[in-house]
A and B are shown apart, each in its own frame.
Chain A
């Protein structure tokens, strides 16, 4: 039975960062990384660029074989974990192998959430979560003329843009009344919507797909207002859900994701979880949420890794902050924190100019969220201002006028 002091299940940002953290404290402890994906580590975030052809599939690899040899970590790919026995400290893989572990990191990420739309299970559709998905979509879109995308989140919009740029006629169906719901407010959304409309993409917002049916050629999607949208290619991008099925019966507590504490420990001894699979502290609400973004995955992976290696100086995590950067048709949209918040207790200052849109959300003279379109800012600095709850009372007007200059100034002062 193979065994490792540190067993990392998953191979993207959280697991890679945990590996790095562990190796900083424990250069020699035996380690293995096991992943269901057949490829070397890559980021799901880069896949729209593989689909568009901007990135070659072999050029998005984050670590090569030599890296794993160098750091002394066995890399086992193409085998999914299928079961966890915390009493025996072992993980069962799809090929029947049992891996014994000393400390286990659950970093199995997320998989596309397929909505229960009648008929969807009877047609061929695409998702975009793995490198194979991206390569498959790229090949398929060359043969199609019309595409239907379910979902106007980051993946759906990004794919819709790629499809439109490739000359397809594209329709996007989104249940909510705006694009990127949760990330940005309606005004920012309106600018993005206008850009898509300008590039010929039909956005059906506030509409639910009620039925999907196969046709002689392609598929037809019926919406709740009775319309029918036809396509040769269907992409389902209605969000993701944490991959936790293999933990069933293990005793590891799972809600929407694997519940973790401030040190990314799960309810089971010697089992940690990080990344898109974890349900950990959310900075703003103080509750535990699944925060499926890279910066959070990296932070969680680092804390989990240090804790797994027995770092005595650990401090509990302050919680994750939504950070999203998005480019549509070459134009940047960035949001950090509670950028779409409003109402009681929030002070919202908007700049709605023809060439840019910026929305700053304050609470008690402290920054809690910021978003912009066509006006990229230092997202890392804004995140720090939010996390450190820096009092902006003395510089508020100047900050509202020029958040970049004042943000750089404040951080430069803090670092000295």
Chain B
């Protein structure tokens, strides 16, 4: 397996030109900043020059002194100060303006990613700079066993297949997997002709009873003393928010020790793209068509992860394949929590076929859904409350996201305004929970063991009955 490297990503839409990154770099390097933010074409737009640590670095190849080299271990293009003769030829090899003559002293300067903890990223207040550790994930999991057969029959560009393979690679063979009816078994993970498509024990419950069956499986393993098995579901949104809802709700309420992963592609895609309770307002589906009168779904989606928070499940989180680092972090915590209580991970999964998204734009759709707050990324535990794992501040307009999705192509201004309002409302509610739930937890922690009232100085708890500890 080849090695992949971590990298610094720049999202120009989020940059406000504050210059904190340059200040932080200059401070760490005790000199001129290695990152350069310059005004862009439009007012308020900014562009960046920074070493990309090229895989095929031209600066290295034009150096006559052998002072530059690609470090195979960490991917950095290393500069050897003692070999460099200050000829500046490397600057002619770089089309990014990323290795340049230092106005002070005249030697060349370039980014070395601060040894994996870049100061610029830490200093960026708007998340315009991000530390992308996908390379580390690849190095960590790339060699791990893929738990599915190679030839799953998912559609081209299927995000659910990506989720299944990543999740099971991480979880490994010590697991029992339930895949209720939907794309996941439909593409062949339960198998054909008496053989399974999965390398772990897999079964195919009804749409309605997934969580109940898993509860029984877990109790059996508990009974025989096997505490190390991950008892889990990879279920679609239909089997979770509609048909299987009562079973999920019951298992969560009873605190059954299972890992329930909902792969949410916003409808019954496997059976012909019918609407589900998770289908967002305005979506075209085969049962909410677009014609003279009807313009797609007329109801809003229910927010299943928030419903699971209301159950005070041991762990609840949302995730997106555009942010794999987060997905893996949350998966780690979700697995751990599933040995103690009901653990619920909701992964958003754009469907290229049912949503009319080109196969090569699926991850971009994932990213835009998050950047527009159409999807919010957060996690919850009863102890720590709810916290955003990506800031919902400074979102792009939801229309930027909707424009990339074919099932929203027909939306008029009123419908888009409705969706934007719904998105804003959800974020406002989540922010309220993020603030107040943690305050309540703090109050609880401060209160005497046997006290049922909170300390005087903290804000009163939410009025929602379900959130009271």
Chain A residues engaging chain B, CB cutoff 8 angstroms: 13, 16-17, 20, 43-46, 49, 54-55, 59-62, 294-295, 298, 323, 325-327, 330, 332, 334, 336, 376, 378-381, 383-384, 395, 404-409, 411-413, 415-416
Candidates A43, A327, A376, A380; contact of B93 at CB < 8 Å = A380
Interface contact B65-A325, CB-CB below 8 Å? no
Q: Closest Cβ of chain B: how far from A395's Cβ, in Å?
A: 8
With a cutoff of 8 Å between Cβ atoms, the chain A residues found around residue B49 in the complex are 378, 408, 411-412
Interface contact A295-B89, CB-CB below 8 Å? yes
Interface contact A379-B92, CB-CB below 8 Å? yes
| Bound complex: CA A405 to CA B49 (Å) | 9
Interface contact B64-A294, CB-CB below 8 Å? yes
Interface contact A378-B94, CB-CB below 8 Å? yes
| Interfacial residues of chain B within 81-106, with CB under 8 A of chain A in the complex | 82-83, 85-89, 91-97, 100-101, 106
With a cutoff of 8 Å between Cβ atoms, the chain B residues found around residue A59 in the complex are 66, 82-83
Interface contact A332-B88, CB-CB below 8 Å? yes
| Bound complex: CA A61 to CA B65 (Å) | 8
| Bound complex: CA A101 to CA B89 (Å) | 34
Q: Apart from A376-B100, A395-B41, what 15 extra A-B contacts exist at CB < 8 Å?
A: A46-B65, A55-B65, A59-B83, A325-B87, A332-B101, A334-B88, A334-B91, A378-B97, A379-B88, A379-B92, A380-B96, A404-B97, A408-B97, A409-B39, A413-B41
Closest B residue to A374 using CB positions: B106
| Bound complex: CA A294 to CA B62 (Å) | 6
| Interfacial residues of chain B within 45-81, with CB under 8 A of chain A in the complex | 47-49, 58-59, 61-62, 64-66
The 7 A-B residue pairs with the shortest CB-CB distance, nearest first, are A43-B64, A412-B47, A45-B64, A376-B101, A325-B88, A379-B92, A378-B97
Q: Closest Cβ of chain A: how far from B284's Cβ, in Å?
A: 31
Interface assignment of B36: CB less than 8 Å from any CB of chain A: yes
Interface size on B, residues (CB 8 A): 33
Q: Closest Cβ of chain A: how far from B207's Cβ, in Å?
A: 44
Interface contact A380-B85, CB-CB below 8 Å? no
With a cutoff of 8 Å between Cβ atoms, the chain A residues found around residue B38 in the complex are 405-406, 408-409, 412
A and B contact pairs by CB, cutoff 8 A, 17 listed: A13-B61, A46-B85, A49-B65, A59-B82, A295-B93, A298-B62, A326-B87, A332-B88, A334-B91, A378-B91, A381-B94, A381-B97, A383-B92, A408-B49, A411-B96, A411-B97, A412-B96
With a cutoff of 8 Å between Cβ atoms, the chain B residues found around residue A62 in the complex are 66
Interface contact B91-A380, CB-CB below 8 Å? yes
| Bound complex: CA A134 to CA B225 (Å) | 77
| Bound complex: CA A195 to CA B100 (Å) | 24
With A325-B92, A332-B88 already in contact, the answer to whether A17 and B61 are too (CB < 8 A) is: yes
With a cutoff of 8 Å between Cβ atoms, the chain A residues found around residue B61 in the complex are 13, 16-17, 20, 298
Q: Closest Cβ of chain A: how far from B417's Cβ, in Å?
A: 29
Chain B residues engaging chain A, CB cutoff 8 angstroms: 12, 36, 38-41, 47-49, 58-59, 61-62, 64-66, 82-83, 85-89, 91-97, 100-101, 106
With A332-B101, A413-B41 already in contact, the answer to whether A327 and B92 are too (CB < 8 A) is: no
Q: Closest Cβ of chain B: how far from A161's Cβ, in Å?
A: 13
Candidate in B88, B92, B96 with the most chain A CB atoms within 10 angstroms: B92
Candidates A43, A46, A325, A380; contact of B97 at CB < 8 Å = A380
With a cutoff of 8 Å between Cβ atoms, the chain B residues found around residue A326 in the complex are 87
With a cutoff of 8 Å between Cβ atoms, the chain B residues found around residue A13 in the complex are 61-62, 64
Q: Closest Cβ of chain A: how far from B72's Cβ, in Å?
A: 11
Q: Closest Cβ of chain A: how far from B170's Cβ, in Å?
A: 32
Closest A residue to B83 using CB positions: A59
With a cutoff of 8 Å between Cβ atoms, the chain B residues found around residue A298 in the complex are 58, 61-62, 93
| Bound complex: CA A339 to CA B466 (Å) | 73
Interface contact A413-B66, CB-CB below 8 Å? no
Closest B residue to A20 using CB positions: B61
Interface contact A49-B88, CB-CB below 8 Å? no
> Chain A at the B interface: mostly helix, strand, loop or mixed?
helix
Interface contact A380-B65, CB-CB below 8 Å? no
Interface contact B47-A381, CB-CB below 8 Å? no
With a cutoff of 8 Å between Cβ atoms, the chain A residues found around residue B93 in the complex are 295, 298, 380
Interface contact B41-A409, CB-CB below 8 Å? yes
With a cutoff of 8 Å between Cβ atoms, the chain B residues found around residue A409 in the complex are 38-41, 47
With a cutoff of 8 Å between Cβ atoms, the chain B residues found around residue A405 in the complex are 38-39
| Bound complex: CA A340 to CA B237 (Å) | 67
With a cutoff of 8 Å between Cβ atoms, the chain B residues found around residue A16 in the complex are 61
Q: Closest Cβ of chain B: how far from A16's Cβ, in Å?
A: 8
Q: Closest Cβ of chain A: how far from B3's Cβ, in Å?
A: 16
Interface contact B62-A412, CB-CB below 8 Å? no
With a cutoff of 8 Å between Cβ atoms, the chain B residues found around residue A327 in the complex are 86-88
Q: Closest Cβ of chain A: how far from B96's Cβ, in Å?
A: 6
With a cutoff of 8 Å between Cβ atoms, the chain A residues found around residue B101 in the complex are 332, 376
Interface contact A45-B41, CB-CB below 8 Å? no
With a cutoff of 8 Å between Cβ atoms, the chain B residues found around residue A384 in the complex are 95
Interface contact B85-A49, CB-CB below 8 Å? yes
Interface contact A295-B62, CB-CB below 8 Å? yes
Q: Closest Cβ of chain A: how far from B324's Cβ, in Å?
A: 21
| Bound complex: CA A30 to CA B88 (Å) | 35
Q: Closest Cβ of chain A: how far from B275's Cβ, in Å?
A: 36
Interface contact B100-A55, CB-CB below 8 Å? no
| Bound complex: CA A334 to CA B106 (Å) | 13
Closest B residue to A410 using CB positions: B47
Interface contact A54-B92, CB-CB below 8 Å? no
Interface contact A325-B64, CB-CB below 8 Å? no
Q: Closest Cβ of chain A: how far from B364's Cβ, in Å?
A: 13
Interface contact A55-B36, CB-CB below 8 Å? no
| Bound complex: CA A45 to CA B49 (Å) | 28
Interface contact A378-B100, CB-CB below 8 Å? yes
| Bound complex: CA A406 to CA B38 (Å) | 8
Q: Closest Cβ of chain A: how far from B439's Cβ, in Å?
A: 41
Q: Closest Cβ of chain A: how far from B29's Cβ, in Å?
A: 18
Closest A residue to B49 using CB positions: A408
With a cutoff of 8 Å between Cβ atoms, the chain B residues found around residue A20 in the complex are 61
Closest B residue to A407 using CB positions: B97
With a cutoff of 8 Å between Cβ atoms, the chain B residues found around residue A380 in the complex are 58-59, 91-97
| Bound complex: CA A404 to CA B89 (Å) | 17
With a cutoff of 8 Å between Cβ atoms, the chain A residues found around residue B64 in the complex are 13, 43-46, 60, 294
With a cutoff of 8 Å between Cβ atoms, the chain B residues found around residue A46 in the complex are 64-65, 85
Interface contact B48-A412, CB-CB below 8 Å? yes
With a cutoff of 8 Å between Cβ atoms, the chain A residues found around residue B88 in the complex are 325, 327, 332, 334, 376, 379
With a cutoff of 8 Å between Cβ atoms, the chain B residues found around residue A408 in the complex are 36, 38, 47-49, 97
| Bound complex: CA A210 to CA B103 (Å) | 44
| Bound complex: CA A59 to CA B80 (Å) | 11
| Bound complex: CA A384 to CA B49 (Å) | 15
With a cutoff of 8 Å between Cβ atoms, the chain B residues found around residue A294 in the complex are 62, 64, 89
With A45-B87, A330-B106, A408-B38 already in contact, the answer to whether A336 and B65 are too (CB < 8 A) is: no
| Bound complex: CA A332 to CA B101 (Å) | 9
| Bound complex: CA A44 to CA B88 (Å) | 15
| Bound complex: CA A409 to CA B39 (Å) | 7
| Bound complex: CA A144 to CA B61 (Å) | 36
With A55-B65, A60-B65, A332-B88 already in contact, the answer to whether A411 and B95 are too (CB < 8 A) is: yes
| Bound complex: CA A54 to CA B85 (Å) | 8
| Bound complex: CA A17 to CA B58 (Å) | 10
Q: Closest Cβ of chain A: how far from B88's Cβ, in Å?
A: 4
| Bound complex: CA A298 to CA B89 (Å) | 12
Q: Closest Cβ of chain A: how far from B57's Cβ, in Å?
A: 11
Q: Closest Cβ of chain A: how far from B403's Cβ, in Å?
A: 18
With A17-B61, A376-B101 already in contact, the answer to whether A295 and B92 are too (CB < 8 A) is: yes
